[in-house]
Amino acid sequence: MTAPNSANIDTLNWVGDIDGHLRMIDQTLLPVEFLRIDLRDVETVWEAIKMLRVRGAPAIGIAAAYGVCVGVQNAVDGSVEGFFSRLNEVADYLASSRPTAVNLFWALERMRKTAELLRNASSPRDIAAALLAEARVIHEEDRRMCRAMGRHGAALLEDGQGVLTHCNAGGLATADYGTALAVFFAAAESGKRLHVYADETRPLLQGARLTAWELQQRGIEVTVICDSMAAQVMREGRIQAVVTGADRIAANGDAANKIGTYGVAVAAAAHDIPFYVAAPSSTFDLSLASGDLIPIEQRDPREITHGFGRQTAPDGVDVYNPAFDVTPARLIKSLICEHGLIEPVTTEEVARVLSLGPEST
């Protein structure tokens, strides 16, 4: 399938009614091939999340919510007890796909609560309809949060600036036009010209494959660099701000994001460049006091030793492959969420801003 000319990527969507299915872009094929795939059972949704066919914390949460809808389809004509047994089985299974992105668990818990409210008053088919409605609400909420983050973050950037980002936090990672990339898109829509430097983001190259593709689709000037070039590009004066996304943010503002983000933050601090993190309120995990408590996913060593099908390390060598690292709050100038800016990044300010309405700051 040919990639869309429209700036609206539509990363994933539901097709049909309660007996329908989830459709998404297979991001593992980009930028060479644009393909939408249909997921008709919970096993394929789990595999899509695990294998990064869908990735980015908000998009993972949305996919999981729709995954629940797919997973309970074979229980809608049975007993209420059987339906809830299947619901819990499906939610637990989806929760095992990836450990770091808190949106996954947040969305699954919302789906469980939606069903529980109807346990004694509705048939399994009616509960399934309510679950689909809730998944669509989660999807639409993320669209609105993306736009709000873009507006708040765009005000931090000036016309003509060079900005750096790591991994992919655009429309492919969300329901609309992203978290970190939303800031760039909103700035461009307001008339500001930006030059974005996109780290390759090793070992799976989400920056080179996905971020560069999205920015090209929207006509924003983008230059891809190796991860190890970021400090030198900063030293040369090409970068005036850094904006990344996050997969989980602790109560004190420590932020987990794709491996390599912490190094970018350290380099930015060394060059007096502001480092911003954009993420919706659903990415905050206030149950964790600090980033030391964020679980870090360990991925297949072959992503490093045999990246994209070519062996690049000797047989039998030890490999350490954490998917994420944690940037401490002290290195983050502002957290950008749909409620506004969290600055300074402290436990107290995180709690205060998250308690506000979307347009209160």
Give the integer Cα–Cα distance in Å for 141 and 260: 29
- 344 is written with which tokens? 């300074």
Q: Is 227 noted as a catalytic residue in this protein?
A: no
Give the integer Cα–Cα distance in Å for 97 and 75: 22
- HSE (CB half, 13 Å, CA atoms) of 32? 3
Give the integer Cα–Cα distance in Å for 64 and 252: 27
Residue from 227, 247, 285, 325 carrying the catalytic annotation = 247
Give the integer Cα–Cα distance in Å for 327 and 154: 22
Give the integer Cα–Cα distance in Å for 215 and 206: 13
Q: State the SS3 of the chain.
A: CCCCCCCCCCCEEEECCCCCEEEEECCCCCCCCCCEEEECCHHHHHHHHHCCCCCCHHHHHHHHHHHHHHHCHHHCCCCHHHHHHHHHHHHHHHHCCCCCCHHHHHHHHHHHHHHHCCCCCCCHHHHHHHHHHHHHHHHHHHHHHHHHHHHHHHCCCCCCCEEEECCCCCHHHCCCCCCHHHHHHHHHHCCCCCEEEEECCCCCCHHHHHHHHHHHHCCCEEEEECHHHHHHHHHCCCCCEEEECCCEEECCCCEEEECCHHHHHHHHHHCCCCEEEECCHHHEECCCCCHHHCCCCECCCHHHHCHHHCCCCCCCCCCCCECEEEECHHHCCEEEECCEEECCCCHHHHHHHHCCCCCCC
State the catalytic residues: 247
